[in-house]
Amino acid sequence: MSSVDRRLLMDRSVAGRRAVTVPEPDVPLTPLPDASLLRDDLQLPEVTEGEVVRYFSLLSQLNFSIDTQYYPLGSCTMKYNPKLNDEMASLPGFSEIHPLQRDHTVQGALQILHELQDMLGEITGLPSVSVDPLAGAQGEFAGLLIARAFHEDRDEGEQRNVALIPDSAHGTNPASAAMAGLEVVTVPSDEHGNVSVEDLRNLADKRTAVFMLTIPNTVGLFEPNILEITKIIHDAGGLVYADGANLNALLGLAKLGYLGFDIAHSNLHKTFSTPHGGGGPGSGPVLVTDELAKYLPTPVVGEVDGKFSLVSPERTVGRLNGFQGSFGIVVRAYTYIRLMGLEGIKAIARNAIINANYIQSQLKDDFDVAYDRYCMHETVMSARRQKANGVSALDVAKRLIDYGIHPPTMYFPLIVPEALMIEPTETESKETLDAFIAVMKTIAAEAQESPELLHSAPHHAANTRLDEATAARKPILRGSDEAAD
């Protein structure tokens, strides 16, 4: 906690000090619970109100946040989330309804769900949508169950049990495929970072249930051979799945359905402006062609003569969670899309792409670029040049903290050594990008001239270099020195 006072609240305790003085009650006292339920050894810090406020305010300032600093975290998209979205989601008509209320009492909420289904269908070109999944990975799982149900209905369920997944896919893809009971077969990338079409052609056969493509891939690249790829898979009788968790670079510019995808998911807590990270809640709608609509998870929202109701698709893969998805996130995404409109949606994609390419072009003399070609919403750079001088991607990331910038994602994707995955996002100004570029150049120079400075970074943070493995495995959660088992 800054240079001010690093003592825990307990250590500031002085016997008899109080934060509040409660007046003598002038109403009858309620009896205390049975004595066996009460603790008499409860240790609480005895401090003044001012000390409590100061302590927790300082503690809160140790958080790194998009509202306070620049946060170019690759893959996880820490973009600016308009505050209006939160205001809308907090309206009592949304925040105080119950998921078990009868349909006729929550027509407005159902209409929002229905309209968001339509908007996402329009944006992606995959018209049938369920916003039920609570995370991207759950959307993937739902999509893969849909693929399995489709093949089962054609009596090919047992035979088609392979998911082909490129080595540049997001890590959740193979995990979801395995959970859905599919065997994962990896498709290598070629020297340009694209799917190796030759390998794919050899691998696609009558066992192929689905080919899953993260698009743009985790190296931040669009797949230029996508039409050829979707044709290869369809010719082999398989379905094509798009991991569209991050649609920032495609919004209004390319529709997944038009590219030949049959199934997709998208993370509302990424592209559609709900904060990502921090452990949730999330929302990962699953989107499919009309042909696959009957398999969607239940419920979806239907409309007849202006009346909205929850319906269960004819051959649904089932229910994924207790109710109707993450409704608060749905309201935020709905507000965001309505606020932006079609032109605004396109501007998001264009600015996300321009910002990432600007950073890449300005830094490529200082750091290696994973693949030297135009990127989409993020650029994957590498500290392998610095590594030759003993400085790792981790050292670079830690040093950024000293300059007040959140580190980018490191060591991901796995196919790029010493990876630094930078996603500037669309809302950052040129001044912010230039400041980041200047800091990265300074760090590249420091890596040459004084590598030890980077090995011990951060120097100006509340905590300096941690033993991260121990911190993750034995976190100290109680504000004392005892590590949790």
Ligand X SMILES: Cc1ncc(COP(=O)(O)O)c(C=O)c1O
Please report, as ranges, the residues that interact with ligand X according to CB under 6 A: 75-76, 135-137, 170, 172, 214, 243, 245-246, 267, 282, 284
Report the distance separating Cα 50 and Cα 172, nearest Å: 46
Residue with the CB atom nearest ligand X in the bound state: 136
Nearest residue (CB) to ligand X, 243 versus 368: 243
Nearest residue (CB) to ligand X, 74 versus 458: 74
Nearest residue (CB) to ligand X, 189 versus 386: 189
Yes or no: say if 373 and 379 are a contact pair by the CB < 8 Å rule: no
Residue 246 beta carbon to ligand X: minimum distance, rounded to whole angstroms:
6
Q: Which residue has the tokens 């300082």?
A: 58
Residue 138 beta carbon to ligand X: minimum distance, rounded to whole angstroms:
7
Of 239, 245, 266, 264, give the one whose Cα is nearest residue 163. 239
Based on the number of CB atoms within 10 Å of its own CB, is 303 exposed (0-12), middle (13-18) or buried (19 or more)? middle
Nearest residue (CB) to ligand X, 282 versus 458: 282
Residue 98 beta carbon to ligand X: minimum distance, rounded to whole angstroms:
25
CA angle 405/407/408 to nearest 5° reads 125
Report the distance separating Cα 212 and Cα 177, nearest Å: 9
**DSSP letter, residue 189:** B
Tokens of 372: 């030297």
Nearest residue (CB) to ligand X, 129 versus 457: 129
Nearest residue (CB) to ligand X, 75 versus 392: 75
Residue 135 beta carbon to ligand X: minimum distance, rounded to whole angstroms:
4
Instruction: Tally the residues of the chain.
Output: 485
**Residue 60 carries which side chain, given as an amino acid letter?**
S
Per DSSP, the three-state class of 301 is: strand
Residue 163 beta carbon to ligand X: minimum distance, rounded to whole angstroms:
14
Yes or no: say if 294 and 315 are a contact pair by the CB < 8 Å rule: yes
Nearest residue (CB) to ligand X, 76 versus 88: 76
Nearest residue (CB) to ligand X, 247 versus 443: 247
Nearest residue (CB) to ligand X, 212 versus 394: 212
Yes or no: say if 13 and 46 are a contact pair by the CB < 8 Å rule: yes
Nearest residue (CB) to ligand X, 245 versus 440: 245
Residue 136 beta carbon to ligand X: minimum distance, rounded to whole angstroms:
2
Residue 172 beta carbon to ligand X: minimum distance, rounded to whole angstroms:
4
Residue 75 beta carbon to ligand X: minimum distance, rounded to whole angstroms:
5
Residue 12 beta carbon to ligand X: minimum distance, rounded to whole angstroms:
39
Q: Which residue has the tokens 């696959």?
A: 292
| Phi and psi based region of residue 23 (left: phi greater than 0; alpha: psi -120 to 50; beta: remaining) | beta
Of 384, 383, 385, give the one whose Cα is nearest residue 397. 383
Report the distance separating Cα 229 and Cα 252, nearest Å: 22
Residue 86 beta carbon to ligand X: minimum distance, rounded to whole angstroms:
19
Nearest residue (CB) to ligand X, 267 versus 382: 267
Nearest residue (CB) to ligand X, 47 versus 419: 419
Can you list the positions of beta strands (E) in 157-258?
162-166, 183-187, 208-214, 239-243
Residue 285 beta carbon to ligand X: minimum distance, rounded to whole angstroms:
11
Q: How far is CA 365 from CA 45, 153, 355, 382, in A?
A: 54, 55, 17, 12
Residue 112 beta carbon to ligand X: minimum distance, rounded to whole angstroms:
21
Yes or no: say if 117 and 265 are a contact pair by the CB < 8 Å rule: no
**Residue 386 carries which side chain, given as an amino acid letter?**
Q
Tokens of 175: 């995990």
